[in-house]
Structure 1
Amino acid sequence: MKTVINLVLAACAVVLVYICYGSIMGPINFDKEKKVREDAIIARLIDIRKAQQEYRTVHAGAYTASFDSLIDFVKTAKLPFIMKVGALTDDQLNNGMTEKKAMELINKAKKTGNWSEVEKVGLQNFRRDTMWVAVMDTIFSKGFNPDSLSFVPYGNGAKFEMAIRKDTTKSGAPLNLFQAQVSYDVYLSDLNRQELINLKDTQEKLGKYCGLRVGDIEQPNNNAGNWE
């Protein structure tokens, strides 16, 4: 009988140790895995932001709510890049010369072949040439796969939610906003369920979005991420 009691007590002790270990390591393991996943997701959201910011430069300040359009833009679009040679001197600036006026004089000389006016104001070594560079070569590192933009890392094939807002301010100025987001449920649902519930409860009490988001269609935030 005594042996049986000792075995029961030993088993209870093992169970208690396991429970205590789980209560300590559960949150630690959850936070560790959450960080790994969110680092990858944040990197992807930053890529989306970079693509959207370049997209708007050639679309009258407007963003796109379509990943198909955004991905096609990244794959095929080219952006202007100004090659600058020379700079205006203080004397030239004080005399009212601007880069625009300088290029007008130079372009006129190219057409007419008469460079006397350019030489007179000392612009012989002044150049501003526009080159068109592929978006892929401008804002992304070598080997980047644009088709990955819409997919959530660790999301089992899930895609980011993306939305835009086209509006005007009270002064009548155009207002273009975008956001891309993914909820905790998409990329954390296979981890400790209670820790996920606790995390969401905390965020909801703070009035924060339960997930990761870049940009905001409710109010301008300079396209910041909610992790920044």
Structure 2
Amino acid sequence: MKTVINLVLAACVVALVYICYGSIMGPINFDEAKKEREKAIIARLIDIRKAQQEYRTMHNGAYTADFDSLIAFVKTAKLPFIMKVGSLTDDQLNNGMTEKKAMELINKAKKTGNWKDVEKEGLQNFRRDTMWVAVMDTIFAKGFNPDSLAYVPFGNGSKFEMAIRKDTTKSGAPLNLFQAQVAYDVYLGDLDAQQLANLKDMQNKLGKYCGLKVGDIEQPNNNAGNWE
């Protein structure tokens, strides 16, 4: 009988140790997994922001809510890059010369073959040439896969939610906003359910989005991420 009691007590001790260990390591393991996953997701959201900002530049300030359009843009679009040779002197600037005027004189000389005005203004070594560079070679690292933009790391094939807003400000100026986001449930749903519930409860109490998000269609925030 004494032996049975000892065995039961030993089992209870083991169970208590296991429960205590779980209560300590559970939150730690959850936080470590969360940090690892969010590091990859934040990097992807930053890539989306880069692509959207360049898309906006080439589309009269408008963003796109469609990942297919955004990915096609990244794959095929080219951005203007101005090669600058020479600069205007203080005397030239004081005399009213601007880069625009300088290029007008140079372009006129190229067409007519008459370089007297260019020489008169001292612009022989002044050049502004526009080159067109592929988006892929401009804003992303070598080997970047644009088809990955839409997909959430650790999301088991889930895609980011993306939305845009076209509006005007009180002054009548155009207002274009975008946001891309993913909820905790998408990339943390396979982890400890209680830790996830605690995290969401805390975010809700703080009035914050339960997940990661870049940009905001409710109010301008300079396309900041909610982790920044």
TM-score (norm: length of structure 1): 1.00
> Residue in 1 aligned with 2:60?
60
> Residue in 1 aligned with 2:8?
8
Q: Distance in 2 between matches of 1:78 and 1:114?
A: 33
Q: CA deviation at 1:36?
A: 0.4
SS of 2:167 mapped into structure 1: strand
- Root-mean-square deviation (CA, aligned residues, Å) is 0.3
> Residue in 1 aligned with 2:212?
212
Runs of 4+ in structure 1 over 2 Å off: none
Question: 1:56-205, aligned counterparts within 5 Å?
Answer: 56-205=56-205
Q: Distance in 1 between matches of 2:68 and 2:137?
A: 19
> Residue in 1 aligned with 2:20?
20
Q: Distance in 1 between matches of 2:197 and 2:223?
A: 28
Q: CA deviation at 1:93?
A: 0.6
Residues 145-190 of structure 1 show CA distances to partners (whole Å, capped at 9, x for unaligned) of: 0000000000000000000000000000000000000000000000
> Residue in 2 aligned with 1:42?
42
SS of 1:223 mapped into structure 2: coil
Q: Distance in 1 between matches of 2:109 and 2:54?
A: 34
Q: Distance in 2 between matches of 1:20 and 1:86?
A: 71
Q: Distance in 2 between matches of 1:182 and 1:142?
A: 26
> Residue in 2 aligned with 1:221?
221
Q: CA deviation at 1:212?
A: 0.2
- Amino acid in the other structure paired with 1:52: Q
SS of 2:159 mapped into structure 1: coil
Q: Distance in 2 between matches of 1:69 and 1:113?
A: 44
Q: Distance in 2 between matches of 1:24 and 1:96?
A: 72
- Amino acid in the other structure paired with 1:225: G
Q: Distance in 2 between matches of 1:93 and 1:218?
A: 44
- Amino acid in the other structure paired with 1:219: Q
Residues 112-156 of structure 1 show CA distances to partners (whole Å, capped at 9, x for unaligned) of: 111111011110000000000000000001100000000000000
Q: Distance in 1 between matches of 2:96 and 2:15?
A: 84
Q: Distance in 1 between matches of 2:26 and 2:211?
A: 20
Q: CA deviation at 1:65?
A: 0.3
Instruction: Give the gaps of 5 or more residues in structure 1.
Output: none
Q: CA deviation at 1:24?
A: 0.3
- Amino acid in the other structure paired with 2:203: Q
